[in-house]
């Protein structure tokens, strides 16, 4: 007698398990009626799985109440980016967050980011990653710190529940020096906001010769995967706009639309060759 086939009904995708049972029935049966039933049941299983995913997505998109927001903002703090979650604000004063976003949106971005890809390096609480996705982009935020990544996940969840739709946002936990930039594709904009001067600081110490070298190597790689790189500098020796002008120029990128913010400067480096 032929050995029975055992299927793992506890598998992570029961639909796939059921479909493989039905596929075996379909292929092993000579009976046309049984073949038809197996085919119909496969279509049904796929439809049921799709409905289940829709149901799960919709139930995670119900609007958050104030107590839930307060609890999360408190538990996930302290925050660096100032974000207003429907009246619950993360911090009183900050160098980053909503105000900075208004400046970026007004001065550097088109009206919408439909079909565009954004890479937000050192994304922190993910405010810019999420806002660019709200404008239509497929956005990726990179962050090294677990605590900030948790904030970023909350930011995404909050805006998804507020807007009632899933946003095209991915967060990657990694040291941005460890990314293989030759294999991550191209981006319409790369955001390097208050981040380039952090590169290499954990390995070599901030502003050391090796850290600066690593920073320059990363900038070279970024210029190969995007024609527009938005930088926010810290205006200290070796990390001011003159320094970045010099290292971006090596790849034929020139500064445009410079906004002096006192201790920081915003500048969009644009590839002159395209
Ligand atoms: C000064 S904050 C700027 C955050 C954000 N870009 C903004 O302008 O609001 C720097 C952020 O980059 C992250 N970071 C620092 N070094 C990093 C690295 N090597 N790789 C990935 N993230 C890093 C920090 O954890 C922090 O969230």
Query: pLDDT tens digits for 53-105?
Result: 676 666 667 789 999 999 999 999 999 999 999 999 999 999 999 999 999 99
What separation in Å is there between the alpha carbon of 166 and the centre of ligand 1? 25
Ligand 1 contacts CB of residue 231 (under 6 A): no
Q: Which two tokens stand for residue 170?
A: 């991915």
C-alpha 167/C-alpha 186 separation (Å) is: 20
Regarding the domain delimited by 66-271, which CATH topology (the fold level of the hierarchy) does it fall under?
Rossmann fold (3.40.50)
Q: Degrees (nearest 5) of the Cα angle 5, 7, 9?
A: 160
Ligand 1 contacts CB of residue 145 (under 6 A): yes
The domain limits of the chain are 14-59, 66-271
Would the pLDDT of 10 be above 60?
A: no
Ligand 1 contacts CB of residue 215 (under 6 A): no
How confident is the model at residue 4, as a pLDDT?
Answer: 42
User: Assign residue 37 a region: left if phi > 0, alpha if psi is -120 to 50, beta otherwise?
Assistant: alpha
């Amino acid at each position: 007698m032929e050995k029975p086939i055992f299927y793992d009904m506890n598998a992570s995708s029961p639909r796939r398990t059921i479909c493989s049972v039905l596929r075996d029935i379909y292929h092993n049966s000579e009976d046309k009626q049984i073949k038809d039933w197996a085919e119909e049941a496969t279509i049904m299983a796929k439809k049921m799985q799709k409905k289940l995913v829709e149901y799960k997505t919709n139930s995670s998109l119900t609007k958050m109440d104030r107590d839930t927001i307060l609890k999360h903002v408190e538990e996930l703090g302290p925050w660096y980016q100032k974000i207003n979650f429907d009246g619950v604000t993360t911090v009183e004063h900050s160098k980053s967050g909503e105000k900075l976003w208004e400046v970026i949106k007004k001065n550097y971005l088109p009206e919408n980011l439909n079909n565009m890809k954004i890479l937000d390096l050192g994304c922190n609480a993910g405010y810019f990653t999420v806002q660019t996705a709200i404008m239509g982009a497929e956005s990726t935020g990179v962050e090294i710190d677990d605590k900030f990544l948790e904030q970023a996940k909350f930011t995404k969840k909050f805006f998804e529940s507020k807007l009632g739709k899933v946003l095209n946002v991915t967060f990657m936990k990694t040291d941005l020096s460890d990314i293989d930039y030759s294999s991550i594709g191209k981006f319409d904009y790369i955001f390097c906001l208050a981040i380039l001067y952090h590169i290499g600081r954990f390995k070599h110490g901030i502003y050391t010769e090796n850290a600066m070298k690593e920073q320059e190597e990363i900038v070279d790689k970024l210029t190969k995967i995007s024609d527009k790189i938005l930088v926010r500098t810290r205006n200290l020796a070796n990390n001011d706009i003159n320094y970045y002008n010099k290292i971006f120029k090596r790849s034929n990128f020139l500064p445009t639309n410079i906004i002096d913010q006192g201790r920081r400067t915003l500048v969009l480096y644009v590839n002159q060759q395209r």
